[in-house]
Structure 1
Amino acid sequence: MSLKVKICGVTTPPALHAAIDAGADMVGFVFFPKSPRNVSLRGACDLSAGMGGKAQKVALVVDADDGLIRDIVQEFKPDWVQMHGAEPAERVAEIRQKFGVPILKAIGVAQPSDLSEVEAYLGVADRILLDAKPAKGAELPGGNGLAFDWTLTEGFSKRTGCENWLLSGGLNPENVGEAIRLTHAPGVDVSSGVEDSPGQKSVEKIRAFIAAARRAQDHLA
């Protein structure tokens, strides 16, 4: 299985083009007003119009209601809906069935026991994203530039039977190679780690991140 690379929180054409040209597999668009990476539905549609299927579109939502998800699915037509809030497995299953779109479910990780939450989503979500659990009281559930102890994921696929997952949280061009070598994650996701400031993606950092991830993938092959 080839490594999946996801660039999340894209808001500008240069960032989008950099991600696609550098070979990103997935590009995330954030539909969460509290985030500095938030985009309007019309803005996301316009921004993604030129993607031409070169990368999969991911719509990130946080504890969204049916109305928002319906609008996103009908107008934006994402390949994935990323549920990055406190959505229980029942809610994930409901959305997946109701709207017929694959679900990427984020799980916050800070200690070994957090990984036990994954079991409830197996067979419900189509892919799992392991992200650093935000600090208590944080406004954002992700994109905070925090990393968790990657050694917690040792043997994760074998232990859980989950082979489709992404590693996220605190990744950047300098450490993504080591993260891949250490965890053997089948995919990586980055947002703040390729920014110059919150919400401001760096074209150079996006290219460097994807290149570093691919080099690490080649070394593991």
Structure 2
Amino acid sequence: MPVTAKICGLSTPDTLDAAVQGGASHVGFVFFPPSPRNVGIEQARALAARVPDHVTKVGVFVDPDDALIDAVTAATGIRTLQLHKTAFERVAELDGRGHHVWPAISVKRASDLDESARFAAIPVDRIVYDAKTPDDALLPGGMGLRFDWTMLSGYRHPGPWMLAGGLDPQNVIPAIQMTGARLVDVSSGVESAPGVKDVAKIAAFLKAVAQC
């Protein structure tokens, strides 16, 4: 099974095109105003129209309400929701409405991984293991933080999953080898500044993933 990649936090046509042309299997759009990667509905509509059918569009949310999800879905056709800081009951509710849900689990220590077992009962489409940010951080991710990836070595996952947090073109290969991840997610690791994606870094990241 090949390893694939999601380029997250895209906000411009040229970087979106670089992700698609480089072989990304998923592209992510952030709908969270405090984030430097936030996109508005009309901006997302235009970007989503550029995404070919073989690439999955993912909406990245932080405990979203129905109005936001409905607006995004109507404008972009996004049906895959990556959910950060969203209660288990809310994740289950959105799954029951026919969305493809990807709850994010914030990981700092090995015991944090145990939260994934709860989602086997829904079951969700994919679990996102992301690095836990400081308690006072404004953002739940996209800060370039990573957790100890050795904790995932040999871990029995309840279903499909994705590795996120602190990945970049230089460390993604060892991260894949260490964890056995088949889908990896990058955002700040392919940026020249917060929220500013770098076409060359996107290409380098996807080239590295293709080697695995």
**How far apart, in 2, do the equivalents of 1:45 and 1:21 lie?**
20
- Among 117, 120, 123, the alignment partner of 1:119 is 117
Unaligned runs of 5+ in 1: none
Q: Which residue of 1 aligns with 2:196?
A: 200
Q: Which residue of 1 aligns with 2:5?
A: 5
**How far apart, in 2, do the equivalents of 1:145 and 1:61 lie?**
18
Matches within 5 A, 1:82-97: 82-85=82-85, 87-97=86-96
1:37 matched to 2:44? The reply is: no
Matches within 5 A, 1:1-221: 1-85=1-85, 87-98=86-97, 100-122=98-120, 123-156=122-155, 159-162=156-159, 164-215=160-211, 217=212
8 A Cα contact 1:20 1:54, kept in partner? no
Give 4+ residue runs of structure 1 displaced > 4 Å after superposition.
none
TM-aligned CA deviation for residue 170 of structure 1: 0.5
RMSD over aligned Cα atoms: 1.1
Alignment TM-score, normalising by the size of structure 1: 0.92
Write the deviation string for residues 79-99 of structure 1: whole angstroms up to 9, x where unpaired.
Answer: 4111112x122111101222x
How many residue pairs get matched? 211
8 A Cα contact 1:5 1:213, kept in partner? yes
TM-aligned CA deviation for residue 140 of structure 1: 0.3
8 A Cα contact 2:49 2:76, kept in partner? no
**How far apart, in 1, do the equivalents of 2:158 and 2:48 lie?**
34
Unaligned runs of 5+ in 2: none
8 A Cα contact 2:130 2:163, kept in partner? yes
**How far apart, in 1, do the equivalents of 2:77 and 2:48 lie?**
10
**How far apart, in 2, do the equivalents of 1:187 and 1:206 lie?**
15
% of aligned pairs identical?
A: 46
Q: Partner amino acid for 2:168?
A: N
**How far apart, in 2, do the equivalents of 1:26 and 1:109 lie?**
22
**How far apart, in 2, do the equivalents of 1:50 and 1:14 lie?**
10
Write the deviation string for residues 132-152 of structure 1: whole angstroms up to 9, x where unpaired.
Answer: 000120000000100100001
Alignment TM-score, normalising by the size of structure 2: 0.96
